[in-house]
Amino acid sequence: MKNDFDLVVIGGGPGGYVCAIRAAQLGLKTACVESRGALGGTCLNVGCIPSKSLLNLSDNFHKAKKDFNQQGIEMDGVRLNIKKMMSNKNKSIQVLTKGVEFLFKKNKVTYFKGKGVLFSKNDIIVYESDNKRTNINSKNIVIATGSEPTSIPGIDIDEKNIVSSTGALSFSEVPKKLAVIGGGYIGLEMGSVWSRLGSDVTVIEYLDHITPGMDREISNEFQKILTKQGIKFKLGSKVQSVNKKGNLVSIKYTNLENSKEEILDFDKVLVSVGRKPYTEGLNLTKVGVKKDSKGRIEVNEKLQTAISNIYAIGDVIKGPMLAHKAEEEGIAVAEILAGQAGHVNYDVIPGVIYTSPEVATVGKTEEQLKKENKSYKVGKFPFMANSRAKVNNETDGFVKILADKKTDKVLGVHIIGPHCGDMIAEMALAMEFGASSEDIARTCHAHPTFSEAIKEAALAVDKRPIHF
């Protein structure tokens, strides 16, 4: 039959489309169902890709307006054309989504545009926009439907004045005053975009620190740098209400330290308090797929659900909601279905915040090692002592390496500094192969490069850095 498949993937985001392509490469007759109308999921359409476009463009604008003159590149009359900037972002998205469609054709993956609903453990109905229904049968099914933003009860996100990250990617003008509710990765990235473009940005966070789960020393340094850049922070603050007041938005919050209530007015408010798995309307309960108390699909070590031929990957299961984590899981499932030993090493999945400077991390934090009563050594090296960073005027931040006190095995690496989102791959690879800090220290790094700071931090683990 035409619509009989070895594998059907529901969801065409990074996890889903990568899983589908890899399965097809391995000889499985594969289809992918996506309801958005464009492949790439949240990440490509309204998430990590468009945000990186704006992060890059806003950084260029800020440098041209503020930094270049000090470095001998004199520029007058630098202007922001927000319409053109958004157009540039949108063109990039279109090119990339079409690129994924091309890869589907190249690898003979059948693409169904519509909402996929499970009818049984082998049957899917695809509801298309023109009320057309298509029945699909598959030996195996992968659920890769991703996540959606969460909000605070009582706050009405209209994507105009009170927005999620989706709305914050499409402002038609720079807000005079922008509030970011939530001090996590997404909120800080978007806050930094609009701050660099001229907005007065205030971050309101419930906890007494930003970036929960990050190594605290890195988190504290990150906040200092962002404060220096002009972003304000209201930490230990619980938001009570967010209400429209004419053309403004009024936020009432409580300072948890002194229980004092305060009210602040803003032009725009970005609600960025996390994301939740998106499994609505899939009919999971009917077919026997189980979820945990947080709405995540429960899977075993092979990413199987309670129904053995139905798998789940990405944001709908436990673990960090990262595109590259979803991709690794997608490849693992495809290889398992093809009879190979698909596997994901969750201990070496890097995380990156794409602000300026960037923040990158992989492995254990110092707080986690203390909680585990693990004996460890610390090596640190500041970018102000790195020659490339010095001549490029990018000296904020440092590299921090945590190594086992007895074996010297690298347990975690945390970097705040220039281009560290790319640099962290070296350390993820090193940790994947069980490298010691001595292995890193004895690896020749090209000079002058930012990555020399990694070598120096590795030397610093045993208190022998050369340049600091």
Q: What is the pLDDT of residues 228-277, one digit of tens each?
A: 999 999 999 999 999 999 999 999 999 999 999 999 999 999 999 999 99
* 177-181 and 268-271 beta bridge pairing: parallel
Q: Where in the chain is the domain with CATH 3.30.390.30?
A: 348-461
Per-residue confidence (pLDDT) for residue 319, from 0 to 100: 97
Classify domain 4-149+276-344 at the CATH topology level: FAD/NAD(P)-binding domain (3.50.50)
Domain 162-273 top-level CATH class = alpha beta
Per-residue confidence (pLDDT) for residue 66, from 0 to 100: 86
**Rounded to a whole number, what is the distance in angstroms from the first to the last CA of the chain?**
68
Q: From CA 390, how far away is CA 375, in angstroms rounded?
A: 34
Per-residue confidence (pLDDT) for residue 70, from 0 to 100: 84
DSSP code string of 325-383: HHHHHHHHHHHHHTTS-----GGG--EEE-SSSEEEEEE--HHHHHHTT--EEEEEEEG
pLDDT digits (tens, 9 = 90+) for 157-170: 999 999 999 999 99
Per-residue confidence (pLDDT) for residue 131, from 0 to 100: 83
Per-residue confidence (pLDDT) for residue 320, from 0 to 100: 96
Instruction: Find the DSSP H helices in 26-131.
Output: 41-46, 48-62, 82-106
- Nearest residue to 241 (alpha-carbon basis) of 249, 233, 230: 249
In the predicted structure, residue 2 carries a pLDDT above the cut 80: no
Architecture (CATH level 2) of domain 348-461: 2-Layer Sandwich (3.30)
The predicted model gives 304-330 an average pLDDT of: 98
Per-residue confidence (pLDDT) for residue 77, from 0 to 100: 85
* 115-118 and 310-312 beta bridge pairing: unpaired
Q: From CA 13, how far away is CA 3, in angstroms rounded?
A: 22
Q: From CA 6, how far away is CA 9, in angstroms rounded?
A: 10
The predicted model gives 27-39 an average pLDDT of: 96
Q: Over pLDDT 90: what percentage of the chain?
A: 94
Q: From CA 133, how far away is CA 33, in angstroms rounded?
A: 13
Q: What is the DSSP letter of 136?
A: E
pLDDT digits (tens, 9 = 90+) for 59-106: 999 999 988 888 899 888 899 999 999 999 999 999 999 999 999 999
The predicted model gives 418-430 an average pLDDT of: 98
**pTM, two decimal places:** 0.96
* 30-34 and 110-113 beta bridge pairing: parallel
Q: In sequence order, which residues have a C-beta less than 8 Å from that of residue 65 and are 6 or more positions away?
A: 75, 78
Helix (H) or strand (E) holding 244: strand 237-245
pLDDT averaged over every residue in the chain: 96
Q: In sequence order, which residues have a C-beta less than 8 Å from that of residue 173 and are 6 or more positions away?
A: 82
Q: In sequence order, which residues have a C-beta less than 8 Å from that of residue 244 and are 6 or more positions away?
A: 161, 162, 250
Q: Which two tokens stand for residue 303?
A: 């990413």
Q: Where in the chain is the domain with CATH 3.50.50.60?
A: 4-149+276-344, 162-273
Q: From CA 461, how far away is CA 427, in angstroms rounded?
A: 15
Sign of CA dihedral 71, 72, 75, 76: positive
The one catalytic residue in 62, 343, 447, 467 is 447
User: Does residue 467 or residue 66 have the better pLDDT?
Assistant: 467
- Nearest residue to 169 (alpha-carbon basis) of 190, 154, 184: 190
In the predicted structure, residue 1 carries a pLDDT above the cut 60: no
The verdict on whether 62 is a catalytic residue reads no
Distance of CA 198 to the CA centre of its chain: 24
Per-residue confidence (pLDDT) for residue 130, from 0 to 100: 80
Single-letter amino acid, residue 40: G
In the predicted structure, residue 444 carries a pLDDT above the cut 60: yes
* Poorest-pLDDT segment among 110-114, 151-155, 172-176, 201-205: 151-155
Q: From CA 115, how far away is CA 313, in angstroms rounded?
A: 18
Hunting for tokens 């254990």 — which residue is that?
364
The predicted model gives 193-206 an average pLDDT of: 98
Single-letter amino acid, residue 180: V
